Amino acid sequence: MKKGDILELDITGYGYEGKGISKIPKRIIKPGPDSSENSNNSNYVVLVDGSYPGDKVKARLLKIKSSYAKAKAIELLVPSEKRIKARCKFFGVCGGCKQQDLNYEMQLKYKQDQEKEIFEHIGGLKDFETEQIVPAENVFYYRNKMEFSFADRRWLTREEIDANNTGNKNFALGLHVPRIFDKVLDIDECFLQSKKSNEILNFTRNFFKQRKTPIYSTKTHTGYLRNLVIRQSQNTKDLMINLVTSKEDDEILKEYTSELMNVVPGITTIINNINLKKASVAVGDFEKVYYGEGFIYDKIGNYTFRISANSFFQTNTLQAENLYKTAIDYAELNGDEIIYDLYSGAGTITIYCSWKAKHVYGFESVESAVNDADENAKLNKVENVSFIRADLYKSFLPVIKKNNIPKADVIIIDPPRSGMHKNTVDDVLTLNPDKIVYVSCNPTTQARDIKMMTENGHKLIKMRPVDMFPHTYHIENVALLIKGKQRQK
Beta bridge partners of 363: 342, 388
Position 1 in a domain = no
For residues 25 and 127, the answer to whether their CB atoms sit within 8 Å is: no
- Residue 277, classified by CB atoms within 10 Å of its CB into exposed (0-12), middle (13-18) or buried (19+), is exposed
Q: Which residues contact 128 (CB under 8 A, 6 or more apart)?
A: 119, 460, 461, 462, 463
Three-state SS at 363? strand
Q: Give the tens place of pLDDT for each residue, 81-90.
A: 999 999 999 9
The bridge status of strand 129-130 relative to strand 458-466 is parallel
**Which residue among 97, 190, 353, 441 is the active-site one?**
441
**Alpha helices (H) in 71-178, listed in sequence order:** 104-117, 158-162
Position 96 in a domain = no
φ, ψ at 183 (rounded to 5°): -130, 150
Q: What angle do CA 125, 361, 119 make, to 5 degrees?
A: 10
Chain centroid to Cα 165, Å, comes to 35
Residues 245 and 229 in one domain: yes
Pick from 128, 141, 129: nearest CA to 97: 141
Angle between helices 195-210 and 250-263 (to 10 degrees): 140
In whole angstroms, give the CA distance from residue 486 to residue 489: 9
Residues 244 and 197 in one domain: yes
**Would you give the DSSP letter of residue 240?**
E
Residues 131 and 160 in one domain: no
Residues 42 and 173 in one domain: no
Position 105 in a domain = no
Number of other residues whose CB lies within 10 A of the CB of residue 36:
7
For residues 342 and 425, the answer to whether their CB atoms sit within 8 Å is: no
For residues 230 and 193, the answer to whether their CB atoms sit within 8 Å is: yes
In whole angstroms, give the CA distance from residue 284 to residue 273: 5
Residues 332 and 460 in one domain: yes
Residues 411 and 325 in one domain: yes
Out of 300, 332, 357, a domain closes at 300
Q: Give strand ranges (E) for 301-346.
A: 303-308, 338-342
The bridge status of strand 239-245 relative to strand 269-274 is parallel
Q: Which residues contact 40 (CB under 8 A, 6 or more apart)?
A: 27, 28, 30
Number of other residues whose CB lies within 10 A of the CB of residue 193:
22
Ranges of the chain with pLDDT below 70: 27-41, 162-163, 165-166, 485-489
At 312 the pLDDT is: 84
Question: Is 441 considered catalytic here?
Answer: yes
In whole angstroms, give the CA distance from residue 400 to residue 388: 9
At 29 the pLDDT is: 33
Position 309 in a domain = no
In whole angstroms, give the CA distance from residue 143 to residue 444: 24
Three-state SS at 419? coil
DSSP conformation letters of 435-460? EEEEEES-HHHHHHHHHHHHTTTEEE
Position 410 in a domain = yes
Number of other residues whose CB lies within 10 A of the CB of residue 34:
6
- Residue 64, classified by CB atoms within 10 Å of its CB into exposed (0-12), middle (13-18) or buried (19+), is middle
In this structure, the chain runs to a length of 489
Number of other residues whose CB lies within 10 A of the CB of residue 28:
10
The reported pTM is: 0.88
Residues 322 and 264 in one domain: no
At 159 the pLDDT is: 73
Residues 283 and 152 in one domain: yes
Position 310 in a domain = no
Position 221 in a domain = yes
At 34 the pLDDT is: 42
For residues 192 and 202, the answer to whether their CB atoms sit within 8 Å is: no
Q: What angle do CA 439, 442, 443 make, to 5 degrees?
A: 85
Residues 231 and 270 in one domain: yes
Residues 267 and 341 in one domain: no
Pick from 93, 13, 79: nearest CA to 45: 13
Residues 332 and 289 in one domain: no
Q: Which structural domain, as residue segments, surrounds residue 171?
A: 145-300
**Would you give the DSSP letter of residue 354?**
G
In the chain, the number of structural domains is: 3
Burial call 99-138: b when 16+ CB within 10 Å, e when fewer: bbbbebebbbebbbebbbbbbeeebebeebebeebbbbee
The bridge status of strand 239-245 relative to strand 13-14 is unpaired
Pick from 153, 147, 189: nearest CA to 170: 153
In whole angstroms, give the CA distance from residue 145 to residue 311: 11
Q: Give the tens place of pLDDT for each residue, 118-166.
A: 999 888 999 999 999 999 999 999 999 999 999 998 888 777 776 676 6
Residues 365 and 441 in one domain: yes
